[in-house]
Amino acid sequence: MAWKLNLLPTKKHTQSDRQLNAAGTPQNRQTLPTDVDKITDEQIFVARQPVFTKSEQVVGYVISTPSCDIGIDSEVPFNTCNSARLIMNVLNNFGLEQLVGDKMALIPISLGAFAANAIGILPTQKTVLEIHPVSVPESELDYVCEAMHEKGYRFVLNDYTPNELTRDAFTKASYAAFDVSLHGVETAMKQAADLRHLPLQRIAWNIQSKKDFDACKQGAFDLFQGNIFAQPEAWSMNRVDPSSLRIVEIFNMVMNQAELDVIENAFKHDVGLSYSLLTYVNSVGVGLPHKTQSIRHALMLLGHDYLARWVSLLIFAGVDTRAAQRVLLNTALIRARLTELLGKTIFNGREADQLFIVGMFSLLDTLFGRPMEQVLSRMSLPVDVVDALAGRTGRFRPFLDLAMSFEGQDLKRADTLCNSLGIDLSTASYAHLSAIEWARQMS
């Protein structure tokens, strides 16, 4: 008989799910409804994109939101209403800590929002204000920068041309950003080089490919912005770590509901995996009254479902120590949790678990540097999961597409997918922020 003993949700699982279903709401803000699918407020959408160093360490996130007075089919303007809405969403509805953790938050502002002192409630130590020519004309730039500098705010001048009129403003700025996608790598690099003499950091903005990233690293840029880590052609590995293949084998055993003895034996052949398993089960968050000292007991406590999730994390976490791989793991975690949360509004528990695997494994081609079909051929996965990961139509694929639309800040596509799934966009947005917080905790 196959081993089917499952662990009931422990203190860790219960508390985590309660926090995440409430979108990670801190105690000093109004608690959101417990179930994500019950949120009925007006449409709220906040997206973020990473800012990282040459060594691929994430140091902050660019925060954005749609305008409060235009439809999703329009370009988002830098106006007072939009700035105020973004600030309130960041501080009240979602929370700065949940959005960026211990990183900096780059928040765009308008001249009107500055004049109305809307930025006064933003914490200076975690906030970098983004100023764009569309929002603050060059004739007003130096005045605005001087005033923000006096208030103790750091700010980034985004896509301003270094010239006689903007010279003084650049001396007060902490960052200067140049749009690589709009101007091209060579022009952006030249603009950044013109500011070498100033004590500010230069950001290559809106990078679209690894080729552009590699080129910009050779220039005068200090930081880089763009959502490029999840592209298979950009971050593939040159080899497959043997330990990862071993973990894949164990994952297949678990998915095939193998006997306890078979899985136990596989763990006993790997000291590192055995140690990781016991460390996880004995962690304070799991809430067991007594320490577990045997592999067999640990496996019995977890059961197939929780063990499958934990092993899927190891496939990412145990491969490489490069910063890019850690970013890849974070992206996979967000996708996994988001697809699971959204799936719970429609499917039962087992299908929601499968959606978690869809999100978690959606970057396996990037991780292993191989076509997705080839990677999937090594794994024992349900047909619906395989269809979703292979890009074929199916009931799970729209959930993965929705997660990726949030990553790319494609609100129009997100809204279309939400309508097709019968999910409110605000519900999906809260679930996305909940997934970000969960991924941060897991990392």
Same domain, 244 and 392: yes
Same domain, yes or no: 305 and 217: no
Residues 373, 329: one domain? yes
Confidence of residue 65 (pLDDT cuts 50, 70, 90): low
Given a cut of 80, is residue 254 above it in pLDDT? Answer: yes
**pLDDT recorded at residue 197:** 92
Would the pLDDT of 212 be above 60?
yes
Last residue of a domain, one of 179, 197, 225: 225
Residue 205 and residue 255 share a domain: no
- On whether both 252 and 116 belong to a single domain, the answer is no
17 found inside a domain: no
Q: Domain boundary residue among 225, 253, 275?
A: 225
CATH code of the domain containing 57 = 3.20.20.450
Please give the Cα distance from 217 to 188 (Å, whole number): 12
Question: pLDDT grade, residue 57 (50/70/90)?
Answer: confident
Residue 90 placed within a domain: yes
Which of 171, 199, 225 lies at the terminal end of a domain, its last residue? 225
Residues 288 and 372 in one domain: yes
Between 137 and 233, the more confident residue is 137
Q: Are residues 116 and 219 in the same domain?
A: yes
Max mean pLDDT range (112-121, 307-316, 340-349, 433-442)? 340-349
The CATH number linked to 341 is 1.10.3210.10
> Does residue 212 lie in a domain region?
yes
- How many domains does the chain fold into? 2
Paired tokens of 90: 């960041």
Amino acid, res. 138: E
**What mean pLDDT comes out for the span 339-359?**
86
Domain shared by 218 and 241, yes or no: no
- Which residue range(s) make up the domain with 157? 47-225
Nearest to 318 by CA among 240, 237, 244: 244
Tell whether 273 and 417 lie within a shared domain: yes
- Whether 126 is covered by a domain: the verdict is yes
